[in-house]
Amino acid sequence: MKDWLEEINWNSDGLVPAIAQDYQSGRVLMMAWMNRESLALTVAENRAIYWSRSRRKLWRKGEDSGHVQKLHELRLDCDADVVILIVEQLGGIACHTGRESCFYRRFEEGAWKTIDPVLKDPDAIYTPGHSHE
């Protein structure tokens, strides 16, 4: 049987885009990157673990904020180059800005308009000096 990780079309950096989607509402919460190790650990630990390109290390979603993403389902697209994590977003906040989703701006009349409220002040979520991602 073929290794399931071998079926993914990793990009030239060894990464695959990963979209996190709420398991109840279907709302897209965020997009991040995964490498082989982070995807394998996501399945093993049943929680979203991404690869932080800026920090060059594994990023266990919620390790600093407490906003863990519990994995309900993992899907691979037809070209095998994007994964979707269907997750339960603990705390209801996926974005480092304190919003439910990272996609909180909508294009209206030639400009980006913020349409989602901040649910929790980021300063109350993260410790000083933490690099939000």
Calpha distance 35→16 (Å, rounded): 6
95 is in an annotated binding site: yes
102 is in an annotated binding site: yes
64 is in an annotated binding site: no
Q: In what order do the strands lie in the sheet with 16-22?
A: 28-34, 16-22, 83-89, 69-76
Entry field: residues in the chain: 133
77 is in an annotated binding site: yes
Specify the amino acid at residue 12.
S
81 is in an annotated binding site: yes
Closest CA to 38 of 50, 56, 23, 21: 50
116 is in an annotated binding site: no
Residues of the binding site = 77-79, 81, 95, 102
Residues of the binding site for Zn(2+) = 78, 95, 102
Residues of the binding site for Mg(2+) = 77, 79, 81
